[in-house]
Chains A and B, each alone.
Chain A
Amino acid sequence: MERVIEMTDESERDKSEQAAARAVAAGSTATTALAVAAPRSGGKPPRRSRVSKRTKLIVLNCISVVAGIAIWWILALNGFQFPTPPEVVEKAIQLWNAGILQQDILASLGRVLTGFLLGSAAAVPVGFLMGWYTVGRGLFEPWIQFFRTIPPLALLPLVLVLLGIGEVPKVFVIFLAAFLACVISTYQGVVNVDRTLINAARVLGAKDGAIFVRVVVPASTPFILVGMRVGLGSAWATLVAAELLAAPAGLGYRMQQAQLYYDLATIFVSIVVIGILGLVMDRLLLLAETKLTGWQERR
């Protein structure tokens, strides 16, 4: 009974997180997404029935993936204009050997990581200022609320005009996407810090500085990490779209070029690589989250 509840609980949460990421990726505002994506707690010692259920899930996942590829293959062989899976793999190898794929991956990853890291690095202090000081909140809030309603991509034309067509405008919109997702979450984390914990620190002799570093920061870490995951999804989505518009290299750029030459295989390669890279980065953050927030009680 209890275990069943745990399982549903977990998959429910997974779903809501995906929904959150999708909502942002789709360019909608992160308002509802953040409300849903509550911080999750870390790993639990596996139990037998849980493991078997997990295995079952993995098996089903594999079946689903294989079936999907099979349907793709069947469609490709039956008059659809898709390239077949082997053709896509072949294309990937060809692009890799030519050095193009690596170059695109590096270009895209470089942009997304720069924008994402800068965005998160700026979001955390701003989120803290907003949560901790009324002045900070009063000054930042209107701007953040305003820009949150605008998909970062919608700013791209303006940014391109102002900053030219180099790397800066692309990194900037990615920065903005990551920043906006992360700042609200951080702010909420700070506001939600349990008053009794702050009081407990005060009566143990902690002054404001120590309370901030030793209580507020660790207590809001789960929120920050959720914000970073949403921010990463948002950054990645923005990146590809930005590259479609203007770039000398990158996965989005490659797709755009391929489109001109009707090169469907290359488009497929790019899509798959984008998906895999996004998934890997998300899992890495999830791992960090599990490591850093394992202290949370499950309720």
Chain B
Amino acid sequence: MTMTTNTTTTNTATAKISVQGVRKTFQLKNEEFVALDHVDLDIADNEFVTVVGPSGCGKSTLMNILAGLEEPSSGHALVDGEEVSGPGPERGVIFQQYALFPWLTVRKNVEFGLKVGGVPKAARRERAEYFIRMVGLEQFADALPKMLSGGMKQRCAIARAYAVNPSILLMDEPFGALDALTRVKLQEQLLETWNREKRTVMFITHDVDEAVFLANRVIVMAARPGRIYETVEVDLPYPRTEDVRLSPEFGELRNRVWHAVYHQEPGTNAGTTSSSPTA
């Protein structure tokens, strides 16, 4: 595994994340289930990529591979040109189920990564404070997760991921369980944060609007086998305001992604990278 590192480093020096010919199979009772097949994907530094696709197309599996929680059956997952071999603090993960430690306060949750990383107490406090303020939870710093609403929990999870200063954020349907209002608010906050603290983001969602609104690029996946079906470049300007959301360009992109998600022809790839709409 480590032997390939040197040769690949030069090839993919430009991409922050590089997925090369990844295939992932799960052994079911008496057959092999192909969760991912021939997945190739490069994500540039500071790029915001969203991934949409029908349920079961392998979005979470792809993310888990990049997070280092699962290994590809074949192919390579590279981060900064290095083969992924387990989780690392340079990759922050935000889970759909929040995954806050219920016995720790918001502050302690945010400090968790710093604590296990051996950051001294004072520095830990200060960093946690900063990110708690960033997500607007300063009034709840000493509250337990059970006292927070879903949106607040997710904000806490985002602060926790940011606190260890990862250069990559992997987000698996982070807003999936939230109501539409909270969702739009958090989308705007997330973009604001991303504008201030640039990171490479891979954001999984079910929601076509969300995918287009957030991304530089939307990856549409298909199931059986899980694969990349189409890539849609989103050349809309940041900051993405409500005007952007209501613009005809947005509508056009949205329709294209919608079509790619809901009118997939089985077994084929649309594959082509769509050109950007007129600016």
Contact = CB atoms under 8 A, between A and B. Distances in A.
A196 B157 CA distance: 13
B65 interface: no
Given A202-B69, A204-B164, A205-B88, A295 B113 contact: no
B151 interface: no
Interface stretch (B73-81, B94-102, B189-197, B239-247): B94-102
Contacts of B104: 295
B92 A203 contact: yes
Contact of A206 (B91, B116, B160): B116
A208 to B, nearest CB: 11
Contacts of A201: 101, 112, 116
Interface string B70-90: 000000000000000011110
A205 B89 contact: yes
Contact of A204 (B102, B103, B112): B112
B101 A218 contact: yes
A210 interface: yes
Interface residues of B, number: 29
B93 interface: yes
Contacts of A199: 67, 69, 87, 93, 95, 99
Contacts of B89: 204-205
B146 interface: yes
Given A200-B95, A203-B92, A296 B102 contact: yes
Contacts of B237: none
Contacts of B88: 205
Nearest to A42: B146
A295 B112 contact: no
B163 to A, nearest CB: 9
Interface in B180-209: none
Nearest to B144: A295
Contact of B146 (A196, A204, A295): A295
Interface in B137-165: 144-146, 160-161, 164
Contacts of A214: 101, 112, 115-116
Contacts of B93: 199-200, 203
Nearest to A215: B101
B117 interface: yes
A294 B145 CA distance: 11
Contacts of A207: 116
A59 B155 CA distance: 46
B92 A297 contact: no
Nearest to A41: B146
B119 to A, nearest CB: 10
B63 to A, nearest CB: 11
Given A210-B116, A214-B116, A295-B144, A205 B103 contact: no
- Which of B67, B88, B99, B100 is the most central at the interface, judged by chain A CB atoms within 10 Å of its CB? B99
B103 A295 contact: yes
Interface string A201-242: 111111100100011001101000000000000000000000
A56 B131 CA distance: 48
B102 A297 contact: yes
A196 B112 contact: no
A196 B99 contact: yes
A206 B89 CA distance: 9
- Which of A204, A214, A296 is the most central at the interface, judged by chain B CB atoms within 10 Å of its CB? A204
Contacts of B113: 204-206
Q: Which 8 pairs of residues, A with B, have the shortest CB-CB distance?
A: A204-B113, A200-B99, A205-B89, A203-B93, A295-B103, A206-B116, A203-B87, A196-B99
Interface of B: 67-69, 86-89, 91-93, 95, 97, 99-104, 112-113, 115-117, 144-146, 160-161, 164
Interface of A: 194, 196-197, 199-207, 210, 214-215, 218-219, 221, 294-298
Given A196-B95, A295-B103, A296-B102, 14 more contacts: A199-B67, A200-B100, A200-B101, A202-B69, A203-B67, A203-B91, A204-B116, A205-B88, A205-B116, A214-B101, A215-B101, A295-B102, A296-B146, A297-B146
